[in-house]
Amino acid sequence: MPSPLHHTQRPSLPIAAGLALTLGALSMPSASAEPRTYEIDPEHFSIGFLTKHVGYADILGMFLEGQGEFVYDEQTRQLHSGNVEIAADSVFTNHEERDNHLRSDDFLDAGRYSTIVFEVTGFEAHSDSEGTLEGDLTLLGETRLVSLAVTLNKAAEYPFGHGQHTLGLSARTTIDRSDWGMNYGVDNGMVGDEVELIFELEAIRQ
């Protein structure tokens, strides 16, 4: 802190205002980037999807195995990189015959393409809690750009367990699976082409 002023005369209003701004700037935290790595907690990573079944109702399914991490600066809201990998054969819709069909070459072809990969290519923050995430989704050996609406639900030290600083995030997007060559049931309307993807996760700062 600067030493106290020794002038007996009170500084003029413009000078006082300048001093106040200078002192305020010194006391504010630095705006320099401080990117940190965040690992997605596999115990709190929900990967869901919704698609229509013969037009009657939506089928709600999940992938039970996924992992990922990203490099993010909370202060500047800049996302530097990120990667998510999902085990294709971990698909689950609570119906064994249907799950086996989804693993077949009619859909995920999990024997040939074991991993679904999402690589971050960009992020735009719209507010302190919302933004648009862009990245390359690789499915069935094809890579396409997708955009996800992302919401930051909470950023704080975890109240129990690991006790580390944690981000709670939700993300949503809708894709046409036929863009990746997954065409089974599209033309006859048996299975919807549009698939809503749902991500709920907690990411721990390293």
- How many domains, the chain? 1
Residue 162 has pLDDT above 80, yes or no: yes
The reply to whether 108 falls in a domain is: yes
Q: 3-state class of 26 per DSSP?
A: helix
pLDDT given at position 5 = 36
List the CATH number of the domain containing 153.
Answer: 2.40.128.110
Domain encompassing residue 155: 36-205
Instruction: Match 């809690």 to its residue by tokens.
Output: 129
Tokens read off for 128? 């302190």
27 pLDDT band, cuts 50/70/90, is very low
15 pLDDT band, cuts 50/70/90, is very low
Check if the beta carbon of residue 88 is closer than 8 Å to that of residue 116. Answer: yes
pTM of the predicted protein model: 0.83
